[in-house]
Amino acid sequence: MVTINKSYMIAPGTAKTIGHILVVHATADYEATAANLASYEHRTWRSAETFVHLAVDDKGAFQVAPTGYVAWGAGNVNRLAPVQIELCQFRDRVRALKAYNNLIALAVAQAKLYGVPLTLDSTDKTNGIKSHYWCSRTYGGSDHTDPYAYLQSIGISKAQLAADLKAGHASVTATATATVLKPTVPVKTTAAKATTTKLAVDGDWGASTTKRLQVIYKTTADGIVSSQYPWACFKGAVTGFKYEKVNPAGSLLIAAIQRSLGLKDDGLLGPATIRAMQRKAGTPVDGVISVHSQLVMYIQRELNAGRKPF
């Protein structure tokens, strides 16, 4: 049993997740504890647009965000992952292996809660335990390769991780003889800020698509479509949509798009606005933003060509 401390939990108000994926990360930040990471993401999640559900170290776990709801740690996989866990990195081998053991215990317990099969990086695109590396390769929207380089540095191969997850417990024991790992080249991953790079034309409307729209429509470029009704028609809206059930004020970006379509600019992206966008895009007019939406692909292609989509 890994204890879960909830004192730094946030309430991001994101949508419920729709798949059965558990994402395993490593922090790339040596000696930062789970408490350090949770308090950091607690402070910065809005501006950094990054948070996971849980962080685990040699002492236990801290919860950052409610599991079962979208977190912003793994790009286009976010909507499919009810649980994302960060493994904290330590140079001290005993601490590192204790944290690894806690990761296995926590991941297996959380996988059971959310019906996630105990497979690692399998070909199943909506079920199973996945490395952030698998997420980047399979879905894009992020280019991180954790946690394998770090795990290798503490003597855990990918095969070992897979076997331990399948067995439901870690097979390595942290010995009392502390071997301090040499501070090797830090496992550095680049946090890509997608401002000039081409958007992935994947039809999923996430924070980077929003940000590019905001730049071209000259509204605040924070990657967030704020204050929307929690419409059921938003299946392909992946990250950065902020919902309010009562009297949402609407988004400046959506208002700008509505004005260019000749609609009332209430800033609320509802079925009528989506239909008008679809008519302009020449995609099927159903008032729904589906997963891998043709409308969103049109938007992404137009943005990549440097044009206003509407």
What are the residues binding Zn ion (CB under 5 A)?
25, 132, 144, 146
Task: Find the shortest distance in angstroms from Cβ 28 to Zn ion.
Answer: 8
Percentages (nearest 5) of helix, strand, coil residues in the chain: 35, 15, 50
Closest alpha carbon to 277 in 242, 251, 286:
286
Q: To the nearest whole angstrom, how small is the minimum distance from the Cβ of residue 73 to Zn ion? A: 6
Task: Give the sheet arrangement for strand 20-30, strand by strand.
Answer: 4-5, 61-63, 54-56, 83-89, 20-30, 127-131
CA 261 to chain centre: 32
List phi, psi (to 5°) of 28: 65, 15
| C-beta of 19 vs 147, nearer to Zn ion | 147
Residue number with CB closer to Zn ion (53 or 144)? 144
Residue pair 2/63 in contact (Cβ under 8 Å)? The answer is: no
Residue closer to Zn ion by CB (options 89, 226) is 89
Rounded Cα–Cα distance for residues 112 and 45 (Å):
27
Q: How far apart are CB 132 and Zn ion at their closest, in Å?
A: 3
Q: How far is the CB of 13 from Zn ion (least distance, A)?
A: 22
Per-residue CA distances from 122 to 53, 80, 88, 128, 279 (Å): 22, 15, 24, 7, 39
Residue 50 or 219 with smaller CB distance to Zn ion: 50
Residue 57 or 302 having the CB closest to Zn ion: 57
* Smallest separation, CB 84 to Zn ion (Å): 8
CB-wise, 14 or 228, nearer to Zn ion?
14
Tell the smallest beta-carbon distance from residue 111 to Zn ion (Å). Answer: 18
Alpha helices in 154-189 (DSSP H): 158-167
Neighbours of 243 (CB within 10 A): 17
Nearest distance from residue 270's CB to Zn ion, in Å? 34
Element counts in the chain: helices (H) and strands (E): 9, 8
CA dihedral over 216, 192, 84, 79, signed as positive or negative: positive
Q: Which of 302, 135, 71 is nearest to 294 (CA)?
A: 302
Q: Cβ closer to Zn ion: 51 or 217?
A: 51
Question: Closest separation between CB of residue 115 and Zn ion, Å?
Answer: 23
CB nearer to Zn ion: pick between 184 and 190: 190
